[in-house]
């Protein structure tokens, strides 16, 4: 019996020693590891506050993440009528959140008295960050937008370069208790890789702002495209009505790239190019269907006008040709039945300016990807789409392309540098109004 007792005592002592040793190892050597795991398990990501990589203009000026602002986090159970009145007085904007335990608000300008009251009476957490989009966000239709809940790109550059922009995302989180509520005093945690991520565009912020202002002030609904003729780079692209990135009740439509309109003055251009012996004053029945189609395709009317940008329309050339074949349409009806996008019209205008030389338009210069830094995309190879002789005749007959709704030209006439294309959806504004709008845009090109 004594031997058995002694054996059990030894075994028990060894087990206690092993357990003590293991606890010591966990506490002293692995404690930080398990503490970190425990903390991570209690962290809730604030996806509605995350800031993605920046989209830049051609001068490396930010088009997104432009303005610092303040964010407030308040537990849902603490937001009462008085809190809502105070938030309304501070012009706080409610941000949709995936977490039902707290409310998130954004204020553009700090109200120290109001913030102090919210922190004292409602336990609000305050942090400074950057709004993804500003109140008057430039180039909204080209940039697109992200989903507030998961921060994934939904349209435009945000969608096309989502992987790059998401890689530069700054992630915010809070530490929660067992019920999912924020632990007081724990603060807000931020994590990122410490490097720059973003997309470099060809847009010029000054020109973009001016074009948007001119189109908005006109009170007309439509689109304007400004291009750099030698390179084919898009300097500005604007649409009206405008779009509030914080109120997305309606689907975002980029009219410059996605809406199609009757070809108008560009139709006789195609027929005159297809049959050089004719002029642009009238349409000729000697233009063969094959020649017409080949010429329209040479002007880019069967493809998207802009490289590396999704959501573009190609017009209805194939449908129009089918209608010609079946006798459902005639050449004389072409100006109203053949449709193109304003971007396609801007591309046509550039072809005329460059004596028939063509390449797709571009709006993306490159990306910035962390440790790799800036990477610029190669220039698009061009081609002689239309013979120089045919283009010279067109240039002699036309000083820009004007007609109901359309107004498109290039400047200066000798050695063209800029292309300006305007489409007005409403009743044609008239020569004086269109000229006035052009004058204001030109003043932005030659400040």
- With beta carbons less than 8 A apart as the criterion, state whether 200 and 368 touch: yes
Higher pLDDT, 81 or 435: 81
Q: How far apart are CA 50 and CA 52, in angstroms?
A: 7
| Phi and psi torsions of 231, nearest 5° | -100, -20
Q: How far apart, in whole angstroms, are the C-alpha atoms of residue 217 and residue 211?
A: 10
320-379 residue pLDDT tens: 999 988 988 888 888 899 999 999 999 999 999 999 999 999 999 999 999 999 999 999
Q: What is the per-residue pLDDT for 223?
A: 96
Q: What is the mean pLDDT of the chain?
A: 86
Please check whether residue 275 is in contact with residue 287, taking contact to mean a CB–CB distance below 8 angstroms: yes
Give me the mean pLDDT over the 206-225 stretch.
94
pLDDT at residue 349, as a whole number? 97
| Confidence label for 30 from pLDDT (cuts 50, 70 and 90) | low
Helices 266-274/289-298 angle, 10° precision: 120
Give mean pLDDT, residues 12-30: 62
At residue 310 the predicted structure's pLDDT band, cuts being 50, 70 and 90, is very high
pLDDT at position 52 over 70: yes
The least confident of 23-32, 232-241, 329-338 is: 23-32
Q: Does the pLDDT value for residue 40 go beyond 60? A: no
Query: Which residues are paired to 45 by β-bridges?
Result: 173
Phi-psi category of 90—alpha, beta or left, where left has phi over 0 and alpha has psi -120 to 50? alpha
Q: What percent of the chain has pLDDT over 70?
A: 83
Q: Per residue, what are the HEC states of the chain?
A: CHHHHHHHHHHHHHHHHHHHHHHHHHHHCCHHHHHHHHHHHCEEECHHHCECCEEECCCCCECCCCCEEEEEEEEHHHCCHHHHHHHHHCCCEEECCCCCCEEEEEECCCCHHHHHHHHHHHCCEEEEEECCCCCCCCCHHHHCCECCCCCCECCHHHHHCHHHHHHCCEEEEEEECCCCCECCCCCEEEECCCCCEEEEECCCHHHHHHHHHHHHHHCCCEEEEEEECCCCEEEEEEEECCCCCCCCCCCCCCHHHHCCEECCCHHHHHHHHHCCCCCCCCCCCCCCHHHHHHHHHHCCCCCCCEECCCCCCCCCHHHHHHHHHHCCCCHHHHHHHCEECHHHHHHHHHHHHCCCEECCEECEEEEEEHHHCEEECCCCCCEECCCHHHHHHHHHHCCCEEECCEEEEEECCCCCCEEEEEEECCCCCCHHHHHHHHHHHHHHHCC
The Cα 222–Cα 217 span in angstroms is 12
Task: Give pLDDT, residue 252.
Answer: 75
395 or 227: which leads in pLDDT: 227
Tell me the mean pLDDT in the region 94-103.
79
Answer positive or negative: Cα dihedral of 131, 158, 139, 366: positive
Least-confidence region, from 81-95, 157-171, 181-195? 181-195
**This prediction's pTM:** 0.86
Name the one residue in this structure whose structure tokens are 């308040």.
74
- 51 has pLDDT over 90: no
Q: How far apart are CA 40 and CA 32, in angstroms?
A: 12
Query: Mean per-residue pLDDT for 184-196?
Result: 77
For 189-213, what is the mean pLDDT? 92
Which range, 44-48, 57-61, 274-278, 400-404, has the best average confidence (pLDDT)?
Answer: 57-61
Residues 231 and 254: their CA atoms lie apart, in Å, by 22
pLDDT grade for 37, boundaries at 50, 70 and 90? very low
Give the domain 205-445 fold.
Beta-lactamase (3.40.710)
What whole-number distance in Å separates Cα of residue 7 and Cα of residue 19?
A: 18
Give residue-wise pLDDT tens across range 108-125. Answer: 887 889 999 999 999 898
> With 90 as the cut, is the pLDDT of residue 169 above it?
no
- What span, in angstroms and rounded, lies between the C-alpha atoms of 179 and 433? 63
pLDDT at 427: 67
Reported as a single tens digit per residue, the pLDDT across 143-163 is: 999 887 778 899 999 999 999
Q: What is the pLDDT at residue 87?
A: 93
As a whole-number percent, the residues of the chain with pLDDT over 90 amount to: 52
Confidence of residue 44 (pLDDT cuts 50, 70, 90): low
Residue in 261, 256, 227 with CA at minimum distance from that of residue 243: 256
Sorted by where each begins, the domain ranges of the chain are 205-445
d(C-alpha 36, C-alpha 264), whole Å: 66
Higher pLDDT, 188 or 422: 422
**How far apart, in Å, are the Cα atoms of 341 and each of 33, 224, 406?**
58, 11, 11
Binned at pLDDT 50, 70 and 90, residue 36 comes out as very low
Q: Is the pLDDT of residue 212 over 80?
A: yes
């Amino acid at each position: 019996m004594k031997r058995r007792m002694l054996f059990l005592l030894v075994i028990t002592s060894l087990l206690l020693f092993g357990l003590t040793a293991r606890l010591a190892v966990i506490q002293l050597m692995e404690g930080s590891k398990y503490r970190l795991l425990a903390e991570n398990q209690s962290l809730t990501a604030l996806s509605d506050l995350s800031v993605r990589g920046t989209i830049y203009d051609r001068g490396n000026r930010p088009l997104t993440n432009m303005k610092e602002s303040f964010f407030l986090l308040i537990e849902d159970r603490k937001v009462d009528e008085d809190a809502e009145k105070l938030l309304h007085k501070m012009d706080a904007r409610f941000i949709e959140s995936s977490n039902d335990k707290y409310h998130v608000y954004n204020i553009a300008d700090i109200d120290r008295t109001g913030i102090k009251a919210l922190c004292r009476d409602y336990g609000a957490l305050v942090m400074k960050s950057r709004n993804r989009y500003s109140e008057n966000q430039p180039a909204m239709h080209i940039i697109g937008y992200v989903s507030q809940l998961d921060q994934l790109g939904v349209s435009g550059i945000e969608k096309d370069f989502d992987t790059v922009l998401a890689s530069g995302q700054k992630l915010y989180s809070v530490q929660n208790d067992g019920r999912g509520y924020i632990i007081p005093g724990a603060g807000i945690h931020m994590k990122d890789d410490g490097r720059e991520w973003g997309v470099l565009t060809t847009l010029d912020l000054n020109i973009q702002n001016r074009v948007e202002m001119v189109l908005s002030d006109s009170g007309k609904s439509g689109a304007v495209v400004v291009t750099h003729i030698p390179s084919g780079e898009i300097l500005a692209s604007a649409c009206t009505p405008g779009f509030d990135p914080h109120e997305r009740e309606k689907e975002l439509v980029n009219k410059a790239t996605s809406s199609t309109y009757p070809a108008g003055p560009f139709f006789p251009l195609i027929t005159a190019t297809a049959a050089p012996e004719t002029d642009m004053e009238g349409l000729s029945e000697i233009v063969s269907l094959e020649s017409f189609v080949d010429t329209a395709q040479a002007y880019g009317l069967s493809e998207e006008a802009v490289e590396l940008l999704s959501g573009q329309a190609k017009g209805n050339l194939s449908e129009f040709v089918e209608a010609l074949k079946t006798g459902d349409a005639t050449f004389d009806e072409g100006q109203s039945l053949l449709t193109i996008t304003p971007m396609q019209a801007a591309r046509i205008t550039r072809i005329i300016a460059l004596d028939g030389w063509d390449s797709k338009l571009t709006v993306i210069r490159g990306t910035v990807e962390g440790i790799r830094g800036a990477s610029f995309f190669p220039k698009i190879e061009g081609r002689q789409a239309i013979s120089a002789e045919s283009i010279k005749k067109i240039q002699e007959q036309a000083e820009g392309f004007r007609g109901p709704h359309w107004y498109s030209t290039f400047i200066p006439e000798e050695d063209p540098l800029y292309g300006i294309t305007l489409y007005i959806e409403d009743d044609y504004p008239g020569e004086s109004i269109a000229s006035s709008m052009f004058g204001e845009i030109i003043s932005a090109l030659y400040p």
